[in-house]
Amino acid sequence: MKNTFRVLCIDGGGMRGLYTATLLSTLAYRFDACFSKDIPDIGKAFDLICGTSTGAILTCGLAAGIPINRIQSLYIDNGEKIFVDPMPSQKQLIKFLVWASKYIKKPASNVLQLKNALQSVFGTMTIKQLYEKRNIALCVPSVNASNYKAWVFKTPHNPGKHRDDNYSLVDVCMASAAAPILFPIAQFTNPDNKSIQDNFVDGGLWANNPSLIGIIEAIGMIDLEDTQLDILSVGTCDQPSGDPYSVKNPNWGLFNWRAGVNIVEMSLSSQSFGYSNASRFLCSSLNKLKLPTRFVRLEQTNKSPEQFSAINIDKADKIAIETLNEMARTDADAIHSKVLSSDTGEMALVKEIFTSLSILKQ
């Protein structure tokens, strides 16, 4: 009988991370009613967890054994304190121009509030300490702002690789979630050399959907011939930004690109879509080589324009929170129903994962 190695991959998406936390929590309850009272240890269902930006916060939380309801509260209680001045829509021309001019020389969000919220959850725990405590491997993408090169924070799950051991979970999350325009470059003292200042920018610039990172890292950790590799990929309810009419005139300038905001949004959405398809294709190719691999991306139901207008990466008001939670519960119910109607193929993996969750022991 083959061993099973499971990987969880979580996208970036700012405040929309609340959707993902609620989706996972609701799925746990749908598959086992005991989780109406007890807390599911979702992290322990996986051997490797990868997450980018807001996904890094979820990743570190699940891996560290932070209760999922506490992760949800992190977003709900701190969202408006972090995202103090959300971006106006492009249709609100005057408001957007005022907003853009206001933040020419400074980021738009309260980074200190984010750091304080993370410290209240993770304390001083380091990547190495997390791995020693829980034996769950992590991969968290970021960008080294000093040389523009990709960087992946990793637990010491590979023998001989200890570069990131002493980075705190707070610094790792800050490094991966330092979204351009919204947050400043994440700068902190290197934990191994106090004379060096590390500088990082949001991992969503190159790996907003970290599925490929998870698959590649897992292949290096296991013997594929003797191991069933399973990958669960979870999005953050991407808001569609495309508008067919907007490209009738291709001569886009600073306004059309919303002072750079549209560049970031287009990059995040295209990556999530492209990396999902690339991951699915890679897994299909591995199966053709008789290396058993399953990949499933949790589906999202169709959303109304009103729902999408209520959410964004930096919208954290009451309506945004209610909408994110509602959409997450709706999607969880749809996924659960699909599993009940046919627990084969991709749905079999979803069922296996969510029916094997244990109760979180604090």
Closest CA to 57 of 45, 80, 73, 81: 73
Identify whether 202 is a catalytic site residue: yes
The two structure tokens encoding residue 130: 């997390």
The C-alpha atoms of residue 112 and residue 127 are separated, in whole angstroms, by 21
Closest CA to 179 of 15, 8, 325, 308: 15
The C-alpha atoms of residue 261 and residue 309 are separated, in whole angstroms, by 16
Closest CA to 19 of 306, 337, 326: 326
Dihedral of the alpha carbons of 84, 90, 93, 96, in degrees to the nearest 10: 20
First to last CA, the chain: 32
Neighbours of 128 (CB within 10 A): 15
Neighbours of 103 (CB within 10 A): 15
Q: Which residues contact 313 (CB under 8 A, 6 or more apart)?
A: 13, 14, 15, 16, 179, 182, 239, 265
Task: Give SS3 for 280.
Answer: helix
DSSP E strands, 27-84: 48-51
The two structure tokens encoding residue 200: 């990082």
The C-alpha atoms of residue 291 and residue 339 are separated, in whole angstroms, by 25
Q: Per-residue DSSP letters for 295-331?
A: EEE-------HHHHHH--TT--SHHHHHHHHHHHHHH
The C-alpha atoms of residue 345 and residue 46 are separated, in whole angstroms, by 19
Identify whether 41 is a catalytic site residue: no
In the numeric block, the tokens 């589906």 are attached to 299
Bridge partner list, 126: 168
Residue of 25, 47, 53, 331 with catalytic role? 53
Residue of 202, 238, 314, 331 with catalytic role? 202
Residues annotated as catalytic are 53, 202
